[in-house]
Homo-oligomer: A and B are copies of this chain.
């Protein structure tokens, strides 16, 4: 029977899973609530249940394996989660081995942002590109680096923390201990904070700022100009460091592209010789929330292909 893989995206409120074939066709999906705060056992039960549900419908024979995107740092070789306040009780527990033994199929754990980057590479805006960086502009800013077609992990799976690139050494304080982190100047949260400083109201949301910009509100436009500028500084650093052909942006702030992109590109032109001299593309990601599911599902397929090389 045709091979398929199951991708799981463990989010803060929803646990989603999809069975996807080698051509990227989504065969079947499932989604349910999950409470990370219920602790490790409950979360693992939920993950296993969602995989089993899909597997039983499609037939265990075709299952290559399961990939699981989780909101934490992963020591890939060991299948361990480290340093993740969002995952109570997971620290140093052999999550992968536990799930693998219950499923009797190969399981790969991956950081959720890395999985999203891999998903865009496989079936999204990065199709056919082997080297790219994805930045997800949400409450914070996450990121994933794909190098040579594979996720760049770093030695404890913490690579791609692009939200903490310093864009201004004297900038806004960040929970990580730094000042001027990209995510304090270009996330949805930062958009709201800047809008409040500019007098757009204490109840304003990032969507609200966007709607005001659409109506021509000058302060709202300046919010996105400031955000684009911070993003451009960080992207210029990434372009200078990686010289990759593609950098993708995703997340809730993406609709405001027309308002933040001009200052973003201006900073890139000024701050990166490499950007000016090469055909570097900065573009929108296209898979949205599905990127993580695709990337997670791709992991076991990719691992199998490499083992057979």
Residue ranges of A at the interface with B (Cβ–Cβ < 8 Å): 83, 131, 145, 147-148, 152-162, 164-169, 176-179, 233, 236-238, 240-245, 269-274, 276-278
Contacts and interface: CB of A to CB of B under 8 A. Distances in A.
Main SS at interface, chain A: loop
How many copies the complex holds: the figure is 2
Given A161-B243, A162-B241, A273-B161, A156 B278 contact: yes
Contacts of A158: 243, 274, 277-278
B154 A244 contact: yes
Contacts of A270: 177-179
Nearest to A129: B155
Give the 4 A-B CB pairs with smallest separation, nearest first. A154-B243, A158-B243, A159-B243, A176-B273
Given A159-B241, A242-B154, A164 B272 contact: yes
Contacts of A164: 240, 271-274
Contact of A178 (B148, B167, B236): B236
Contacts of A237: 165-166, 237
A22 B242 CA distance: 30
Contacts of A165: 237, 240-241
Nearest to A245: B155
